[in-house]
Amino acid sequence: MIANQRDFPVAVLVSGRGSNMEALLKAEQAGELGRATVRLVVSDNPEAKALEIARSYGVRAEYIDGAPFKTKLEGAAEERYIQAIRESGARLVVMAGFMRMLKPAFISAFSGRIVNIHPSLLPAYPGLHTHERAIEAGEQFAGCTVHFVNEVMDGGKRIIQARVPVKPGDTPEILAVRVLEQEHQIFKRVIRWISEGRLTEETCPEEPFIFNERMPLWN
């Protein structure tokens, strides 16, 4: 295998700021994304900064209407997404701050080939307002998780987590910055492992890797 052959197209779903997506684009430029290449970026929000950023990297970026629902992708909208991703030839769907639940038709269209990043140490704090909830609960550690996506919200097989300390005086915003730095570190590694065939949903261990601590796939 030629190490830098980029024959593993990826589609990235975004709704907002796009810092995780940009971290992947930077990693690709730096040759750190294995065989993966970001082929398509899709947003359910026409104003998403992520669309602008993707285009500035020369990546095709499209707004696709997610209506009529606001928090899930279902029916005709789901079909539009499935079709666009299929047409792109993507072999992996990456949810990078995509604020909708994926339903069974989408999940089975890309079975075992969807990953998401979530800003908590799952199974703790699925859903929204993770940092606020972790601080309120007096947690000593917070963090982020990359996981395969199934029909349970933030409930699929966990691949890797990074931990950060919760410090005295932390606000959700301050903690979010500390966690986000780690998100950018772990996401690109997962995409690389999957693109190189080193990790699949079936072979994913029960317990997630812990970034910088327990990293059997590291090289």
Q: Taking the complex as a whole, how short is the minimal distance between the CB of residue 63 and ligand GRF, in angstroms?
A: 15
Give CA 106 to chain center in angstroms: 16
Range in contact with ligand GRF (rule: CB under 6 A) among 32-40, 105-113, 116-124, 161-169: 116-124
What is the biggest distance separating any 2 CA atoms in the chain, rounded to whole angstroms?
50
Minimum CB distance to ligand GRF, residue 20 (Å): 3
Cα–Cα distance measured from residue 191 to residue 36, given in angstroms and rounded to the nearest whole number? 7
**Is 20 among the residues that bind ligand GRF (CB under 6 A)?**
yes
**Residues between 136 and 175 that touch ligand GRF (CB under 6 A):** 144
Helices of type H across 110-159: 130-136
**Ordered DSSP codes for 20-76:** HHHHHHHHHHTT-STTEEEEEEEES-TT-HHHHHHHHTT-EEEE---TT-SSEE-HH
User: What is the contact mask toward ligand GRF in residues 68 to 107, using x (rule: CB under 6 A)?
Assistant: ----------------------------xx----------
CA distance 19 to 96: 8
Contact 149, 201 (CB under 8 A): no
Closest CB to ligand GRF among residues 18, 34: 18
Verify binding: residue 183, ligand GRF, rule CB under 6 A.
yes
Determine the Cα angle at 189 with ends 203 and 158, to 5°.
Answer: 45
Minimum distance of ligand GRF from residue 83's CB (angstroms): 24
Q: Out of 6, 16, 37, 103, name the contact with ligand GRF by CB under 6 A.
A: 16
- Indicate whether 208 belongs to the interface with ligand GRF (CB under 6 A): no
Q: How far apart are CA 6 and CA 104, in angstroms?
A: 30
Query: Which residues are part of the catalytic machinery?
Result: 118
11-19, 31-39, 58-66, 69-77 -> range binding ligand GRF (CB under 6 A)? 11-19
- List residues near ligand GRF by CB under 6 A: 16-20, 96-97, 117-119, 144, 180, 183
